[in-house]
A and B are shown apart, each in its own frame.
Chain A
């Protein structure tokens, strides 16, 4: 009976996906172009936000645009960013540990 219970649990996990997921992934962002903001655009700033997973079973994090932009603003003191380039970066070791990040870089508007 116990073996059946274990088998049921394994089957359940295998075919339903994650045990628990709470992630934020980027959807859309239309950043201002250089022409749409005032002031000199000389300083390039960077920001990053990540989601993480352990064994592919549990995933968490805030890897969205809002967090990445906020990171860049916090580190540079910018009021907003213009001409933003967004990239995604994946780090994965045999699915034991995985990290997916959204990286933004753009001109700081102060």
Chain B
């Protein structure tokens, strides 16, 4: 029974980054995917914007340079009562009690605006958008839309 517990703990430990590798489509906790950064229950405060849709103009045949832009959302998640709840109740289901908050303008508009500042008079075309996710211990998360666009003289 004790070994079983150890195996269960280890299995939990080894699943942390799973959402980034196709094993789990649920964006909760990982915060991956389009939209605002996902926060676990007990949200203290959230004021954030995330990417939804953007149909960029087609590539231009004119000579172009590449410009980049970025816009980020951030979240702070504090695992409160983790050990206390789990030990007192003997039930791991009580353990994930979080307090969280999220903020930041992390949408397409802000990312494109950031890229446009690097080529103020150009048309931005052929936009490649990626999501950069940084997590430290699940406490601090940053989710950024990064765009790379071709800037053609307008």
A binding-site residues for B, Cβ under 8 Å: 4, 7-8, 10-33, 36-38, 51, 53, 55-59, 62, 64-67, 69, 80, 82, 88, 90, 92, 95, 98-100, 109
The answer to whether A51 and B83 touch (CB under 8 A), given A18-B138, A25-B130, A27-B51, is no
Contact A95 B20 (CB under 8 A): no
Contact B83 A24 (CB under 8 A): no
Interface residues of B in 18-66 (CB under 8 A from A): 18, 20-23, 29-30, 32, 34, 51, 53-56, 58-59, 61
- Give Cα A16 to B21, complex, Å: 17
B binding-site residues for A, Cβ under 8 Å: 9, 12-18, 20-23, 29-30, 32, 34, 51, 53-56, 58-59, 61, 77, 79, 82-83, 86-87, 95-96, 126-139, 145-146, 148, 150
Which of chain B's residues have a CB closer than 8 A to the CB of A7? 83, 87
Which of B15, B22, B32, B82 makes the CB contact (< 8 A) with A56?
A: B15
Number of A-B pairs, beta carbon distance below 8 Å: 159
A-B contact pairs, 7 of them (CB 8 A): A12-B82, A13-B137, A15-B95, A17-B137, A30-B58, A53-B17, A56-B14
Contact A8 B83 (CB under 8 A): yes
